[in-house]
Amino acid sequence: MRAVVRRAYGGPDVLRMEDVPTPVVGDRDVLVRVHAAACNAGDWHLLRGTPLPFRLIEGLFKPKHSIIGTDIAGRVEAVGPAVTQFRVGDDVFGELARCGFGGYAEYVAAPETNLAPKPANVTVEEAAGLPTSGMTALQGLRKGRIQAGQRVLINGASGGVGLLAVQIAKSFSTDVTAVCSARNVETMHAIGADHVVDYNREDFADGKNVYDLILAANGDRSIWDYKRALAPRGAYVMSGGSNRQLTQAILLGPFLSWGGQTFGNLLMTPKQRDLMFLKDLVEAGKVKPVIDRRFALADVPEAIRYVEAGHAGGKVVITVCADGAQT
C-alpha cells in the first residue's frame, strides 16, 4: 500500500510517500481502507517531537511511529476473528492516537473499539474531520458541566475544535458566544452562534458580559482575562492555544479554583461512546463538520504546513481514495 512515512523527527520535509506492507489484522482488529484522513495540530507536534514531553511517549531521539495520522474514515476491508461490532463493507470513522496512528496510508488496522459507524448523512471527508476535534470539544464542554440555559463562550471558535464546540454547545440549548477574527464571523452565524466577538475589534473580557462556561479551544489570553469574563460560579476549561494559556491553566488553575469559579484543562481521552455520541449529533442535524481545505495523500506535508501556520478555518482533510470520497 502507499503511505506517507517518516523515519526521523523534523518538519514536513521528512515525510516521504512509500510503498509499505499492508497492515495485518490482529484478533480484535479491523482493517480499514482509508478513504479520508484529517490533520490535527497534534500531527506537527508528533512530527517534530515538540514540546519535549511528547518524546517521552514517542521516543527520545527516533520516533516510534513511522506513519502518523490520527483521524480517519473509510470502509472495513477485513476483520479479526474476535471482532463483533463490524463486518466487511461497513463504513466507519475513528481515532488512532492510542493504537499507533497510521492514518496517512491507504489501509490501517485498528482495534474495533477505536472505531464507530460513520454518520450516514455526511461525506467520508466530513466524517474524518470529527474524531479528535469533536471529542475534544465534547469532553471540554462536559468538563465545564455544560447545562441548558448557560451562557457559553468559545475562544478559538473558527478552528477544528472550536467550530464543533460551538455546534455541540448549541445542541445543549445554551446561549453561545463565538470568538474569532473578522473573516470567520459569517461562518459562526451560519453554524448557529448566538453572538460573535471579533477579537481584533472587541474584547470578550472587558467586563460587559460574563459567562457560565468558557472553553478556550485556542487563543492566547491570560488566565486573569478569563477569570474576569467568568460568572461567579462559572467554569473555565482550557483545551488548546498558546503556551502561556496552557501553562497558566495547569499551574494557576488549581489555586484559582478555591472560590466559586473553577479553572481546569483538558487532555482529550478517546472513547468509543463519544464517537457514537458525535455520530448521533451529526445524524440529528445538530452538528455539521466544516471543511476548510482538501489535500491529496501525496500532499500531506503541505497540509501539515498549513495546519501548523495556525489559521485553518475548519478541518483540513486528506482525500486518500477518491472513490471513497463519494460515499
Residues that bind ligand NAP (CB under 6 A): 40-41, 132-133, 136, 155-156, 158-162, 179-181, 183-184, 199, 217-220, 239-241, 266-268, 307, 310-313
Closest CA to 271 of 141, 121, 136: 136
Min dist. Cβ of residue 1 to ligand NAP (A) = 27
Q: How far is CA 124 from CA 195, 214, 318, 325, in A?
A: 31, 31, 10, 6
Which of residues 23 and 289 has its CB atom nearest to ligand NAP in the complex? 289
Is residue 205 packed enough to be buried (19+ CB in 10 Å), middle (13-18) or exposed (0-12)? Answer: buried
Question: Which value, to the nearest 10 degrees, does the dihedral of the CA atoms of residues 231, 232, 238, 239 take?
Answer: -70
Output the residue with the shortest Cβ distance to ligand NAP. 240
Which of residues 200 and 326 has its CB atom nearest to ligand NAP in the complex? 200
Min dist. Cβ of residue 141 to ligand NAP (A) = 13
Residues ≥6 apart with Cβ < 8 Å to 119: 93, 127, 130, 278, 279, 282, 283
Min dist. Cβ of residue 240 to ligand NAP (A) = 2
Min dist. Cβ of residue 266 to ligand NAP (A) = 5
Which of residues 54 and 86 has its CB atom nearest to ligand NAP in the complex? 54
Min dist. Cβ of residue 52 to ligand NAP (A) = 15
Which of residues 183 and 233 has its CB atom nearest to ligand NAP in the complex? 183
The CA angle 139-96-103, to the nearest 5 degrees, is 130
7 beta partners: none
Which of residues 184 and 319 has its CB atom nearest to ligand NAP in the complex? 184
